[in-house]
Chains A and B, each alone.
Chain A
């Protein structure tokens, strides 16, 4: 196995957490974001679909979802930016004994609401949500969602039946959104006891015409919220781009001028609410249209989209960026980063105006997350 390199991060540095099909990497730069120091590979050979950075309550903790086709899935953490990682004797994220499910893969790690600094969430396949209220020391199944009457009818998408997105509402500590492929968007308004589907207006292209707008069952690929206006949400569907201005109660098509409304990744700029997506050509091909690698941005909530592509390959670039392959930092101007299935990692330190390659020979990238070290 390769000997990992390590980074040392200081306050103000930017972290670029990169999960691949063959391990995790921790990249570090100062706030100029010109040069990146690379730590890793960590967990060589393991697929790392989820990474997170928890800097609440004085922590500097990295989280990784370590997935092995042999040995199962578990969470590991590092309090020294990757130099050492926990290897738990027993797995924490698991269904109760006697349940009709076992964890196939951990897809997402998310921090809880701001006033709950010890709360973490995990989304898994088969679709279920787990919660920790002790900063990840122990986990329990969110039974309100597990016992939902729709659960038995959710169907797996191409990647499996996964709960891949967890979105706490910044303005309401009892409200949380999750997205499931293929189940759709669900929202709780009471801290997880009860869940309602929130998919009005979202198309299910794979159903017969008269059934294309079901209450639930859509293949939602990603949802993101506007930090300045948490009731405003954006959604990349399996065919379809949408915005909600009412906390998910209804959705409006905003695929105005994009080369394809199919795609996976979606991010909202924490500084100005711009939305970024990377359209892909069709659900059969799933590559960037016209052989051009373009990141589309809207600054008017989806009324219009423009391609950002300066510095990105524009010939023979048949790339795929997956649902967690795009991430933004909170510096000014915003940094935006994405990784491809072909192992390339690109970044922009000016909110997409110009791009450059950061790394080009990684294993397939499935997760990119950023953080600014406090």
Chain B
């Protein structure tokens, strides 16, 4: 079971839902996100740029671990996990 958490602005694109259960399994974060886009397309361009790379000031955590310290979108996922998408500390 893969659960994806989004917060704040991103819930504008999930019908207000902050917790989304994926309806299919995924071996990597990239595949899990592709499944997420099928349910909530509006998230895609806000989280990834047009070349499919994670935007510089968006972080994704898998079971609390930042995927920037792992294999980014190629991070492998356990069968059951929690994915959290958050804006980073930045701005001014």
Contact = CB atoms under 8 A, between A and B. Distances in A.
Main secondary structure of the interface of A (DSSP, over half): loop
Interface in B56-92: 56-58, 87-88, 90-91
A94 B53 CA distance: 13
Given A89-B13, A95-B50, A103-B50, A70 B45 contact: no
A71 B56 CA distance: 9
Contacts of B44: 90
B51 A72 contact: no
Given A70-B57, A72-B45, A95 B91 contact: no
A296 B62 CA distance: 57
Contacts of B38: none
Contacts of A89: 13, 41-42
Given A90-B41, A90-B42, A90-B45, A70 B50 contact: no
Given A69-B91, A95-B50, A102-B53, A74 B58 contact: no
B50 A71 contact: no
A363 to B, nearest CB: 11
B41 A72 contact: no
Interface size class of B (residues with CB under 8 A): 20 to 34
A103 B46 contact: no
A97 B58 contact: no
Interface string A296-337: 000000000000000000000000000000000000000000
Contacts of A91: 45, 50
A70 B88 contact: yes
Contact of B55 (A72, A94, A95, A97): A72
Interface in A52-93: 69-72, 74, 87, 89-91
Interface string A8-40: 000000000000000000000000000000000
19 contacts: A45-B91, A69-B90, A70-B90, A70-B91, A71-B47, A71-B55, A71-B87, A72-B46, A72-B49, A74-B45, A89-B41, A90-B41, A90-B44, A90-B45, A91-B45, A94-B49, A97-B50, A99-B50, A103-B50
Which 5 pairs, one residue from A and one from B, show the smallest C-beta to C-beta distance? A94-B50, A102-B49, A71-B46, A89-B42, A91-B45
